[in-house]
Amino acid sequence: MNEFEEADVVASDAEVVPPSEPALPAKSEKPGLPANVMEYREQLVRQYHNGAPTLIERIRKAGKEDIESLLVALVEEVVNESDHLLGNELVATQNGELRDASIISFKRAEVIEKAIKAVQAKQEFERQSGIDVDSPSMIVIFRFFLAKAKDTFERMGADNETNDLFFRTFSELMEGWKKELRERFEELRNQR
């Protein structure tokens, strides 16, 4: 029995009668529905995940394979689901289905609570690891050292071509730096 059926029982103090039509089989004969509902569902999921068959595959394709990146991506997904629930709640409210809207609202609150707990767990993880590479402070530190590198080239009297070559090469090597840095911190924690 799902939450809606439970709410019906509580609200009316009556027994819920199962629907007269059985659930859709994998092969559908109903008008307006595709012949194979399972394939259609997989197609919709793949479309939702921009071609990836699952959420995990979508996250991997985005290059988020380390634990922290995965956690951030999953929290984002939970927050997106919260927005979907909000949309459903608003539709139910507009349709005058206040009981359904209340149940959806409660479910949305549960989802948000889970997202908050995940963010708190991430913060605790960062406290233990000692650094948050996504922090705005990290950008300040990064820019500070780049400015010092530029000042060093100027003091050495390096020409503009050498300066440009260094920063262009450095920029190429820094692709994926957050992931690499997280891996280094993970290695450091494992050595303790």
Domain count, the chain: 3
Task: Find where tokens 């068959």 sit.
Answer: 53
- Predicted model pTM: 0.49
Residue 23's pLDDT is: 52
Residue 24 lies in a domain: no
DSSP state letters, 113-145: HHHHHHHHHHHHHHHHHS--TTSHHHHHHHHHH
Point out the domain boundary residue: 108, 133, 158.
Answer: 133
Residue 95's pLDDT is: 94
Do 104 and 144 fall within a single domain? no
Residue 20 lies in a domain: no
Residue 19's pLDDT is: 52
**Under 8 Å between Cβ of 95 and 86:** no
Band of residue 16 on the pLDDT scale cut at 50, 70, 90: very low
Residue 25 lies in a domain: no
If you average pLDDT over every residue of the chain, what do you get? 81
Do 49 and 79 fall within a single domain? no
Q: Which residues is 36 bridged to in the sheet?
A: 27
Residue 77's pLDDT is: 86
Residue 26 lies in a domain: no
Higher pLDDT, residue 19 or 152: 152
Q: Is the pLDDT confidence value at 187 over 50?
A: yes
Which range of residues forms the domain containing residue 53?
A: 33-63
Do 90 and 38 fall within a single domain? no
Do 120 and 151 fall within a single domain? no
**Under 8 Å between Cβ of 178 and 134:** yes
Residue 188 lies in a domain: no
Residue 178 lies in a domain: no
Residue 79 lies in a domain: yes
Residue 191 lies in a domain: no
Do 55 and 87 fall within a single domain? no
| Span 35-63, pLDDT tens digits | 788 888 889 889 988 888 888 888 888 87
Do 54 and 78 fall within a single domain? no
Do 129 and 139 fall within a single domain? no
| Span 68-127, pLDDT tens digits | 677 778 888 888 889 999 999 999 999 999 999 999 999 999 999 988 888 888 777 766
Distances in Å between the Cα of 110 and the Cα atoms of 16, 92, 160 are: 25, 18, 57
Residue 20's pLDDT is: 53
Residue 26's pLDDT is: 54
Element (H, E) at 50: none
Do 76 and 54 fall within a single domain? no
Close Cβ partners of 63 (under 8 Å, ≥ 6 residues apart): 69, 176, 179
